[in-house]
Chain A
Amino acid sequence: MAKDSIKLRAKDEGDGAITVKALITHEMETGARKDAKTGEVIPAHFIQEVVCEAGGKAVMTAMWSGGISKNPYLSFKFAGAKTGDSIKLTWTDNKGDSDSATATIG
């Protein structure tokens, strides 16, 4: 189980929406690359799902391919929460590994 792989920030921008920004540490290996020395294909290892919950409900569910850059950045916006509320972001990759982080809306 991965740990501490997510930097999560949530801010009330004052325009009725909370802006969430996340930076995740992950290889995001597509499975299409070959090792330069051995010629072997480097196995696919990428985040497939990212879910963000607020108030016990999923506000955003993302399905990804290895086409998302290494150490993925993600930002999105949602309404219906306020400063002091908390959000939770969870990712799961194609190997079944996962991690999650919570943040308080500031």
Chain B
Amino acid sequence: MTTEMKRRLFLKSSLAASTIGVAVGAGLLTPQAVLAAWKQEAFAAKEVNEALKALLGSDATENSDAIEVKAPDIAENGAVVPITVSTTIAGVKSIAIMAAGNPVPLIADFQLGEGAQAYVSTRIKMGKTGDVIGVVKTADKTFVNRKNVKVTIGGCGG
């Protein structure tokens, strides 16, 4: 099927579009394989070191100023705290974001594919004042840097 035909089908009725979308999606990557990769244990760990071990196999890390954790000094709304983690370290395989003060510190893990740069930006929930930790993994080492964020209104709800 040419790209043009794929596109026309995709733009057709919403029902056809969603069916084609699923087919194309399943063809390009197996949903089973991707879901199997969600690390249950890491996302249940209640402490940073536990989360590091479950996610990366070890909690051995080295501090690095070559990692920039961009976050507000004070988060007015703990439910939506913009965080950007970037680094000049070469050969980065993944970047993880943790909030040390959250009930479950591990918030996200970004696996960088071919050509992806060591830069991720998102918004996270923070329950209380604490460190936001950027965890950068290369082939053989794990580097971290952190930034303390003051949270005036906690964002974990309840």
Q: Enumerate chain A interface residues (CB-CB to B < 8 A).
A: 1, 3, 17, 30, 32-34, 48-49, 51, 53-54, 56-70, 72-81, 88, 90, 92, 98, 100, 102
* A–B Cβ pairs within 8 angstroms, 15 of them: A30-B125, A30-B157, A32-B156, A32-B157, A33-B156, A49-B38, A59-B115, A61-B37, A63-B109, A65-B106, A67-B102, A73-B121, A74-B122, A76-B117, A76-B121
Q: Is B71 an interface residue (CB 8 A)?
A: no
Q: Is B74 an interface residue (CB 8 A)?
A: no
Which of B18-26, B61-69, B133-141, B142-150 is near enough to bind chain A? Answer: B18-26
Contact B157 A61 (CB under 8 A): no
Contact A73 B123 (CB under 8 A): yes
Interchain residue pairs A-B with the least CB separation, the first 6: A80-B115, A67-B107, A75-B121, A69-B123, A33-B158, A59-B113
Given A32-B158, A63-B39, verify A98-B117 contact (CB < 8 Å).
Answer: no
Residues of B close to A62: CB separation below 8 A = 108-111, 120
Q: Decide if the interface of chain A is mainly helix, strand, loop or mixed.
A: strand
* Contact string against A for B residues 1-39, beta-carbon threshold 8 Å, 1 for contact and 0 otherwise: 000000000100010001001100100110100110111
B99 to chain A, nearest CB (A): 7
Contact A64 B116 (CB under 8 A): no
Q: Decide if the interface of chain B is mainly helix, strand, loop or mixed.
A: mixed
Contact A1 B22 (CB under 8 A): yes
Give bound CA distance, A3 to B17, whole Å: 10
Residues of A close to B104: CB separation below 8 A = 65, 67
Residues of B close to A3: CB separation below 8 A = 14, 18
Residues of A close to B18: CB separation below 8 A = 1, 3
Contact B107 A64 (CB under 8 A): yes
| A53: contacting residue among B29, B80, B107, CB under 8 A | B29
Contact A59 B116 (CB under 8 A): yes
| Of listed A30, A53, A63, A73, residue having the most chain B CB within 10 A | A63
